[in-house]
Amino acid sequence: MHRIHIVGRKNTGKTTLVEALAAALARRGVRVGAIKHTGHVHELDTPGKETSRYRRAGAEPTAVVTSEAIGLFAARAKGEDPYERLAPLFAGCHVVLVEGDHEGPGTKVEVWRAATGTEPLIASRRDIVALITDDAVELPVVVWPRADMDALADRVLALSEKNAPGAFFSDRGG
């Protein structure tokens, strides 16, 4: 199991790509996890609801359990590696797709669309191993076509397997 970060600028299709990749991998019987990373600070829990009240009272972590899902709320200490903390929950996954966190450690691939009018991050970063796009790119980088989801799933799995020793915690790229 290994983390693959799907990075890119705003409105490039990161969420859509993670969703499509997760579905393609799951259809193959691959156990895939997903994590959404955001740099924004906001309340994840619903203020005034039981779990929020428990947390404010000092309980940590807190959870809500339904017949179909579990929602876990845990504080994050400044400087704490969230992936280390989440690792036990994703231990059974062959690959974990992380949307975002282009500044964090781990293998990164970028999704990009020319329509955004922005240059791909990969043009100025050495830690991104491939660019996922169906648009023409005039950069000397590895390009993976976005439209061929089966081939893209193959590439993500191969990248994951290449970096598997050290698994979830690997800082290595490509």
Question: How far is CA 136 from each of CA 73, 108, 129, rounded to the nearest angstrom?
Answer: 42, 20, 18
Q: Is residue 66 part of a domain?
A: no
Entry pTM:
0.85
Q: Is residue 60 included in any domain, yes or no?
A: no
Between CA 28 and CA 85 the distance in angstroms is 28
Note down pLDDT in tens along the chain; length 174 residues: 589 999 999 999 999 999 999 999 999 999 999 999 987 666 667 778 888 888 888 888 888 898 998 888 888 888 888 999 899 999 999 999 999 998 888 899 999 999 999 999 999 999 999 999 999 999 999 999 999 999 999 999 999 888 654 433 333 233
132 φ/ψ angles, rounded to the nearest 5 degrees: -100, 115
- 152 belongs to a structural domain: yes
Task: Give domain status of residue 86, yes or no.
Answer: yes
CATH number for the domain that contains residue 105: 3.40.50.300
Locus of tokens 């290449």: 162
Q: Is residue 67 part of a domain?
A: no
Domain count, the chain: 1
Residue 69 falls within a domain, yes or no? no
Measured CA distances, 69 to 29, 63, 76, 89, 159 (Å): 21, 10, 22, 14, 30
Expressed as residue numbers, the domain containing 34 is 2-42+79-169
Is residue 54 in some structural domain? no
Domain-embedded: residue 174: no
